[in-house]
A and B are shown apart, each in its own frame.
Chain A
């Protein structure tokens, strides 16, 4: 190789090398036993609002235990990536909030402290925890990887005035009714149903519920993906069709990924919304609690063979401790504090969610209409998402496929059984 060629080669290598640069976040785990770092998920109207809500409780904990907790509220769009980076690097926070559907995925990394019976005892005991919530804290047959913190479920929120104006007296109980009412409500620039169409996680949650109602599953008993079964195709098509066929959803919703659907509902631009614990969010957007009704999520009028009576996932937030923490005892005592009756009441009351422990449900806030509906759903018709390590990948792949289908529907391309199946088959092929 001549000198000139060598020069060219070196230049080319360096030029191309700029590609592989990548970054990572590197807050260090608390080094002193008197401090903890806590990543909270975004439960309130904004990251700032969450900080304001949590800080007094953290101060209370510091007074009790002498441990100072530094909190960072992480937006949902970043949380999973940040958790993954922390798991991979062994650096980062001591205590974290995780979406409960990720429990098994994060458990598989082996980075989280296992809550075996003794550890559960140390944070207050297994018996106090709501069983359905605990079932969504890790793969079956293994010690949970986290402890439930807030419990939620999907409900149907409907605008009372819009319903009255359209002459509708009661909320829909079947999807057929929902489509029919939606058509009546879709007039004069207003729409029947608001959908967060570009948010893969939201889409995937609905994929689960609809699939259950059509008798489908996303993973078989061996944990292998079964994305493109006829049941799942029908389920996804039913959901996309609210925009594509029934036309009760504004095509613009195909762009929504920052909770614009909640805003549309709060502003009266849409009359119905399927959401988890939307109440506190609606309140901050100036929609008073008596302006909307809360009903269980509808079912199919005539479910096919094998269809299950499920109308929500067991939704919720879990609290996990990283194994790399240098202050394990402090971290566990913080988990114990956050799941204590008092804190469960204070925090869940503020967020409009339900306590994850059976001993803290007596506060009157938890018998408001919204919370009663959530409670009823959780007890009777909610099921946990598949607790398999590939769950988070399922959310990403199927949720994104649905986002693309919504984009098709919005731009007037036909959404057919075949096009839905093609997307699901593609998504399944990407699972390894």
Chain B
């Protein structure tokens, strides 16, 4: 899945490109002068079209077709079915619709918990490592390791650890510590959701840590000194100095983490090998199963478009609310 580095775009209001035009008018060179910004923008626009916009439009088009194995070779032969795919996949009385809804709730819970824990771990570590001490650099590097490892290698290792008979987790819990009598399953059944969550938090929290650590560098030390003189304790300083100063970082960080986690495909795909158990059936895997594995690309696309609209709403609402609040504060 592609990463999204979106939120900064919200603040970047393009006119910078036009500013040279307003600059010193000593060398009026006619149309060429106004062409330059467009030329500079062109590569980005072309890539944006090729990577985001065109596939998106194609996806929407696919969702209106009955695109199965009979037509996959030549899309022009696929019958146009209008909103039939949407009706079939979003009909909450049918098996497919119920499963999609189930998968949606699972994904929502997974994303909120994962982002919450990742942020909590990130802020804790960033605050603890804010003051210089011996070994700080080593700890910083160590904390960032999960983020630096390739996803596949890291998650495959987790899947080995979590196997019932041969996994290290059960070996420690059951054989070494004797905490449990029965060997529990971690990759099937109810535990699979928590396994997935742990792996996801493990993978994502270093990113939160990295962003928050960078954000903390910009908090002037005088603020803490002033707060200390006023008699503010650790928690008070955290609440009244650190968190407000980190607000711009948090705004972006939480949105980005949420979108990444919500769309996460690699972690469940590698952890469960393509078909996740019901309890951990994330929506990205669900869509993959209902399009690739059953060769029904039309309804797979319909689900993707529905999901796209949902995330669009969430993102827009989030940015609207947070922007309005910022304006109120200003």
Q: CA separation between A396 and B6, bound complex, in Å?
A: 37
Binds A, one of B23-31, B32-40, B219-227, B313-321: B313-321
Given A21-B55, A198-B273, CB of A7 within 8 Å of CB of B9:
yes
Contact of A88 among B1, B3, B13, B72 (CB under 8 A): B72
Residue of A nearest to B2 (CB): A21
Determine if B70 and A14 form an interchain contact, defined as CB atoms under 8 angstroms apart: no
Q: Is A137 an interface residue (CB 8 A)?
A: no
Total residues of chain B contacting the partner, CB 8 A: 64
Determine if A108 and B70 form an interchain contact, defined as CB atoms under 8 angstroms apart: yes
Q: Is B275 an interface residue (CB 8 A)?
A: yes
Contact of B72 among A87, A198, A255 (CB under 8 A): A87
Interface string of B273-317 (1 = CB under 8 A from A): 111011000000000011011111001000010011101100110
Q: Is A13 an interface residue (CB 8 A)?
A: yes
Binds B, one of A241-249, A327-335, A423-431: A423-431
Determine if B55 and A16 form an interchain contact, defined as CB atoms under 8 angstroms apart: no
Residue of A nearest to B74 (CB): A110
Binds A, one of B141-149, B184-192, B204-212: B184-192
Given A15-B4, A429-B94, CB of A252 within 8 Å of CB of B304:
no
Given A3-B13, A14-B6, A19-B263, CB of A87 within 8 Å of CB of B185:
no
Query: Shortest distance in angstroms between A71's beta carbon and chain B's nearest beta carbon?
Result: 24
Given A393-B294, A404-B277, CB of A255 within 8 Å of CB of B187:
yes
Determine if B312 and A16 form an interchain contact, defined as CB atoms under 8 angstroms apart: yes
Q: Is B155 an interface residue (CB 8 A)?
A: no
Q: Is A368 an interface residue (CB 8 A)?
A: no
Residue of B nearest to A408 (CB): B189
Q: Is A432 an interface residue (CB 8 A)?
A: yes
Give residues 206-252 of A contacting B (CB, 8 Å).
Answer: 250-252
Determine if A8 and B323 form an interchain contact, defined as CB atoms under 8 angstroms apart: yes
Determine if B95 and A429 form an interchain contact, defined as CB atoms under 8 angstroms apart: yes
Give residues 122-171 of B contacting A (CB, 8 Å).
Answer: 163-165
Q: Is B69 an interface residue (CB 8 A)?
A: yes
Interface string of A67-87 (1 = CB under 8 A from B): 000000000010001001001
Given A21-B51, A21-B55, CB of A392 within 8 Å of CB of B13:
no
Given A7-B10, A7-B13, A389-B70, CB of A16 within 8 Å of CB of B95:
no
Determine if A429 and B316 form an interchain contact, defined as CB atoms under 8 angstroms apart: no
Q: Is B250 an interface residue (CB 8 A)?
A: no
Residue of B nearest to A10 (CB): B9
Most chain-B CB neighbours within 10 Å: which of A7, A19, A109, A397? A19
Give residues 44-74 of A contacting B (CB, 8 Å).
Answer: none
Interface string of A382-415 (1 = CB under 8 A from B): 0000000100110011001001100100110000
Q: Is B52 an interface residue (CB 8 A)?
A: yes
Q: Is A17 an interface residue (CB 8 A)?
A: yes
Q: Is B255 an interface residue (CB 8 A)?
A: yes
Which applies to chain A's interface (DSSP): helix, strand, loop or mixed?
helix
Q: Is B73 an interface residue (CB 8 A)?
A: yes
Q: Is B56 an interface residue (CB 8 A)?
A: yes
Q: Is B53 an interface residue (CB 8 A)?
A: yes
Contacts of A250 on B, CB cut-off 8 Å? 165
Determine if B185 and A14 form an interchain contact, defined as CB atoms under 8 angstroms apart: no
Given A109-B69, A252-B164, CB of A17 within 8 Å of CB of B56:
yes
Determine if B59 and A410 form an interchain contact, defined as CB atoms under 8 angstroms apart: no
Q: Is B259 an interface residue (CB 8 A)?
A: yes
Most chain-B CB neighbours within 10 Å: which of A110, A200, A389, A425? A110
Given A17-B53, A255-B188, CB of A111 within 8 Å of CB of B295:
no
**Interface size classification for chain A:** 35 or more
Q: CA separation between A15 and B260, bound complex, in Å?
A: 10
Q: Is B96 an interface residue (CB 8 A)?
A: yes
Residue of B nearest to A393 (CB): B294
Determine if A84 and B292 form an interchain contact, defined as CB atoms under 8 angstroms apart: yes
Determine if B4 and A13 form an interchain contact, defined as CB atoms under 8 angstroms apart: no
Given A255-B187, A257-B273, CB of A11 within 8 Å of CB of B315:
yes
Q: CA separation between A108 and B1, bound complex, in Å?
A: 30
Given A10-B9, A15-B259, A393-B295, CB of A410 within 8 Å of CB of B189:
yes
Interface string of B68-88 (1 = CB under 8 A from A): 111011100000000000001
Contacts of B52 on A, CB cut-off 8 Å? 14, 17-18, 20-21
Most chain-B CB neighbours within 10 Å: which of A13, A18, A84? A18
Q: Is A371 an interface residue (CB 8 A)?
A: no
Query: Shortest distance in angstroms between A142's beta carbon and chain B's nearest beta carbon?
Result: 14
Q: CA separation between A109 and B255, bound complex, in Å?
A: 41
Give residues 87-128 of B contacting A (CB, 8 Å).
Answer: 88, 94-96, 99
Contacts of B189 on A, CB cut-off 8 Å? 407, 410-411
Q: Is A254 an interface residue (CB 8 A)?
A: yes
Determine if B312 and A13 form an interchain contact, defined as CB atoms under 8 angstroms apart: yes
Determine if A410 and B188 form an interchain contact, defined as CB atoms under 8 angstroms apart: yes
Query: Shortest distance in angstroms between B60's beta carbon and chain A's nearest beta carbon?
Result: 9
Q: CA separation between A393 and B299, bound complex, in Å?
A: 14
Contacts of B10 on A, CB cut-off 8 Å? 7-8, 10-11
Q: CA separation between A111 and B72, bound complex, in Å?
A: 9
Q: Is B7 an interface residue (CB 8 A)?
A: yes
A residues neighboring B (CB under 8 Å): 3-4, 7-22, 77, 81, 84, 87-88, 90, 105-106, 108-111, 198, 200, 250-252, 254-255, 257, 389, 392-393, 396-397, 400, 403-404, 407, 410-411, 425-426, 429-430, 432
Give the 4 A-B CB pairs with smallest separation, nearest first. Answer: A18-B4, A21-B2, A15-B6, A12-B315
User: Can you list 14 A-B pairs with a CB-CB distance of less than 8 A?
Assistant: A7-B10, A9-B316, A12-B315, A15-B4, A16-B311, A19-B304, A20-B59, A22-B55, A88-B73, A198-B188, A250-B165, A252-B164, A430-B290, A432-B66
Given contacts A18-B3, A254-B188, 11 further A-B contacts (CB under 8 A): A7-B9, A14-B6, A17-B53, A18-B1, A20-B55, A250-B165, A251-B164, A252-B164, A400-B289, A411-B190, A429-B95
